């Protein structure tokens, strides 16, 4: 699957707290969630996840499983 083509018409969003240093964009289309580096918009790779994978990831974030402290332990 060509992810760039799949997400071509998608509305990409980034967090309000994003600055010029580093942020990611997220989009949803046809059952897939795409994630990309804002700096590489339109030219960088897109990682794609199913709705189930994304929901499980968000649940882990909400539970504190992916804090810097947890990841560096």
What is the model's pLDDT at position 62? 96
What is the model's pLDDT at position 1? 78
Domain ranges of the chain: 3-72
What is the model's pLDDT at position 66? 95
What is the model's pLDDT at position 26? 94
Task: Say if residues 16 and 30 touch (Cβ distance below 8 Å).
Answer: no
What is the model's pLDDT at position 73? 87
Mean per-residue pLDDT pooled into runs of 10, the chain (73 residues): 89 83 88 88 84 97 95 91
Q: Which long-range contacts (CB under 8 A, 24 or more apart) does 35-44 make?
A: 36/12, 38/14, 41/12
Nearest to 38 by CA among 48, 47, 29, 26: 26
What is the model's pLDDT at position 42? 65
């Amino acid at each position: 699957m060509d992810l760039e083509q799949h997400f071509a018409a998608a509305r990409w969003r980034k967090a309000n707290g994003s600055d010029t240093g580093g942020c990611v964009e997220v989009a949803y289309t046809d059952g897939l969630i795409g994630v990309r580096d804002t700096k590489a918009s339109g030219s960088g790779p897109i990682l794609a996840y199913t709705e189930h994978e994304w929901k499980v990831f968000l649940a882990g974030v909400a539970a504190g499983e992916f804090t810097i402290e947890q990841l560096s332990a």
